[in-house]
Amino acid sequence: MRNVVRCGLIGFGTVGKGVYQLLQENAHLIKLRTGIDVQIVTICDLRTDLVRREVSGITVTDNWRDLLEDDSIDTIIELIGGIEPAKTMITECMKKGKDVVTANKKLLAEDGDQVFDLANSGSAKLGFEASIGGGIPCVVSLKSGLVGNRVHTVMGILNGTTNYILTRMYDKAIPFDDALREAQDLGFAEADPTFDIEGHDAGHKIALLSMIAYNKKVHFSNVQVQGITRITLLDIMYAYEMGYVIKLLGISRKIGDEFDIRVQPTMLPFKHPLASVRDEFNGIMYDNDMTGPVTLYGKGAGGLPTASSVVSDIVQMAQKDNIYENAISLEGEINYMAPGKRKCRYYLRLYSEDKAGILARVAGVLGNYDISIASVMQQEVEGTYVPIVITTHGANEEGMMRSIGEINKFEFISGDVVVIPVEDFE
């Protein structure tokens, strides 16, 4: 155990400031609890004047190599995000034996091989609790708390922006665009929200959680990602009538020897542990051989919550002289399930002309692909086209996609059929 941890902090944005504030307020508490004195000795940020106005007793620089060359710094906190220059900073520091704590999910999920290899080689330790689920201790729960379990499924609401939008659509019965605008006004969504609403952020996070759960490298490029832009208020309302909520889920599942890892809008029954995760909150469920389902939830973003996770990693790394903690690629390459092989229940919603024989033709196509219908709902409405909602029993994804391709071609259908997988819970 190291009794003193001397940190170099790179990036004095929201989370960086949060780490500084947390240590100002609670460093004595951490020392009382663990015997470890966590100190920030240098902060690196291009806006040196701004930083100097906000901190005292800490060296401020705009050159990260000052941290690299300072042998008294044993731990680097990287909070600038993105691939470069973060990757160079992290790998150079690890090569010099400095432990690294990072919130950089993009780097780790898209281009993390070199960083993970350095961690596995024992050069230095790597902590990335802050990359996933803000202040929720989801990594330590999985790595330490559930260390004795084989994980079957990781499932999470991993992006606060999209969860806020879906919650507002549901609560206020407003369309996607209005909910997005409200999220932007409140600071829950970026001016360019693409990264969040297209599911990329959640994809990075489910890739990282999968690595820990299955002890294999998972690349973001192998995660099938679908966002929420095609979710309509109508589907949210139909889901509600049937006892479901629509959530953007990251799902990672071991099926036989294969792994199905994806991000997609999913219908969850009200009693599912993740169904009640609302607003900008995140929630993560691990389903394991020994414990059964274990769920965590809390604030998935923000300066102080994320700082809590940064500090948790720093303390744990100081308490352990163990390198295996980082070993997440020891069981060889992951075997991805081929797209389309997954089987699940589906919700389909289409707009059709209101005339006889239509349901028979749609059901006929589904039947050709061995898809059996569980329920049909068609309400009388005014207008040329009427909405028809169909739920299916367990169906093969490829068959479903092919049948939808055929149904979309019917001349009596308006627009594309909306397809949403349905997750059940016991």
Report the interface residues with its own copies, using CB under 8 A.
1, 18, 22-23, 25-26, 29-30, 32-36, 129, 134-137, 140-141, 143-150, 215, 271, 273, 275-276, 278, 288-299, 304-305, 307-309, 311-312, 315-316, 319-325, 327, 330-331
Provide the Cα torsion 413, 173, 280, 250; round to 10°: -20
Closer to its own copies by CB, 79 or 348: give it. Answer: 79
Burial of 244 (0-12, 13-18, 19+ CB in 10 A): buried
Shortest CB 305 distance to its own copies, Å: 5
Closer to its own copies by CB, 170 or 351: give it. Answer: 170
Closer to its own copies by CB, 29 or 50: give it. Answer: 29
Shortest CB 279 distance to its own copies, Å: 10
Residues 6+ apart with CB under 8 A from 77: 7, 8, 9, 10, 11, 16, 19, 40, 100, 101, 102, 310, 314
The helix (run of H) or strand (run of E) holding residue 400 is helix 397-409
User: Given the structure tokens 């299916």, which residue do they identify?
Assistant: 392
Separation in Å, CA 237 to CA 84, 165, 174, 242: 43, 15, 11, 9
25 with 303: CB under 8 angstroms? no
Shortest CB 210 distance to its own copies, Å: 14
**CA-CA distance, 338 to 335, in Å (whole number)?**
9
Closer to its own copies by CB, 312 or 392: give it. Answer: 312
Shortest CB 125 distance to its own copies, Å: 12
| Tokens matching residue 108 | 């780790």
Backbone φ, ψ for residue 264 (5° rounding): -160, 155
217 with 116: CB under 8 angstroms? yes
CA angle, 171 then 176 then 182, to 5°: 70
The helix (run of H) or strand (run of E) holding residue 161 is helix 160-172
Closer to its own copies by CB, 147 or 356: give it. Answer: 147
The helix (run of H) or strand (run of E) holding residue 346 is strand 343-353
Closer to its own copies by CB, 162 or 309: give it. Answer: 309
Closer to its own copies by CB, 24 or 221: give it. Answer: 24
User: Given the structure tokens 């609302």, which residue do they identify?
Assistant: 278
Shortest CB 103 distance to its own copies, Å: 14
Pinpoint the alpha helices (H) of 35-124: 48-54, 65-69, 86-95, 105-111, 113-121
| Tokens matching residue 226 | 């679908």
Beta-ladder partners of 255:
258
| Tokens matching residue 60 | 């401020």
Shortest CB 304 distance to its own copies, Å: 4
Shortest CB 318 distance to its own copies, Å: 8
113 with 88: CB under 8 angstroms? no
Closer to its own copies by CB, 137 or 399: give it. Answer: 137
- Among this protein's residues, is 205 annotated catalytic? yes
The helix (run of H) or strand (run of E) holding residue 260 is strand 258-269
Shortest CB 308 distance to its own copies, Å: 4
From 106, 125, 205, 299, the catalytic residue: 205
Residues known to be catalytic = 205
